Amino acid sequence: MSILINKDSKILVQGITSKYGKDQVQKMLEYGSKIVAGVGPGKGGESVLGVPVYDTAKEAVEKHGANVGIVYVPAVNAKDAALELINSGVKLIMIASEGIPIHDTMKIKKASLEKGVWVVGPNTIGLISPGECMAGSLSHEFTKKGNVGVVTRGGTVAIELARILTEAGYGQSSIIGSGGDRVLGRNPAEYLEEFEKDPETRVVVLNGEIGGGKEAECAAVIEKMTKPVFAYILGRCAPEGKRMGHIGAIVGSPAEGFEAKRTLLKKAGAIVVDTPWEIVEKLKTMTI
């Protein structure tokens, strides 16, 4: 099985008429994802790669039954695009946009929780359930269907983890890029809970990084999980007081540092590793 998206997911893309949006839609269509409609204000009636375009998300949902929304619009417009999707009736939204003002993200999160809409991101590479559906920019050629669940805060590392696992013969149930911002629609701990409930996921890989308290939330969940969780934390060599890539990857207190997070996760029962390749070596000693 998988979490969040599957072969029955019907995707609506905000920003489908942009060059980036069109490129990503083409890759998703080639993979077999069901892109049923797009939204481009003032461009209703057009089509992109055979996908009909509408002026509003509500119209697209009503006509095509879309249940997943993707946001490929500039950060300044992302809040309005996301709120439109939240109010359109979709149940899952992936926000790729990076650099969204934190107060805009807080408004998106509040509205999504009130409406029961699951928001992946912002600042995410997306998600994939191998063999079923891809919503985003993950390199699907490095994935294969299996029973390892993966949740990462980084996009590139999601692709690298998939490649390493696949080359070693370990397929994935779903791979989720939770996003690199300080405020996210859903935090990594919530994905761990979903993987714990998924009957086909046998083991979970968590990639975290310095900054914020999201790994502390993960530790609280891991303590209650029955499935093995591998934890790989980035930021060992990050200079003190310097942001490492993502907006949220900066140490604001000792508890947000590299060693503190590793210690906390290990105490919670996670299998803490130094490199992604160590995950594979330890998997070889397990029956999954």
Q: How far apart are CA 15 and CA 40, in angstroms?
A: 6
Residues 220 and 260 sit within 8 Å (Cβ to Cβ): no
Gyration radius of the chain's alpha carbons: 18
132-to-2, 4, 10, 146 alpha-carbon distances in Å: 9, 11, 12, 12
Q: Which two tokens stand for residue 75?
A: 């950060």
* Catalytic residue list contains 64: no
231-to-104, 112, 153, 204, 250 alpha-carbon distances in Å: 30, 28, 12, 9, 19
The arrangement of strands across the sheet holding 68-71 comes to 47-48, 51-54, 34-39, 10-14, 68-71, 92-95, 118-120
137-to-71, 127, 143, 213 alpha-carbon distances in Å: 12, 8, 13, 26
The partner residues of 12 in beta bridges, in order of sequence, read 37, 69
Q: Which two tokens stand for residue 274?
A: 């130094």
Short-list 177, 132, 169, 190, CA closest to 150: 177
Q: How far apart are CA 214 and CA 210, in angstroms?
A: 10
Q: How far apart are CA 37 and CA 19, in angstroms?
A: 16
Catalytic residue among 64, 103, 140, 246: 246
| Active-site residue set | 246
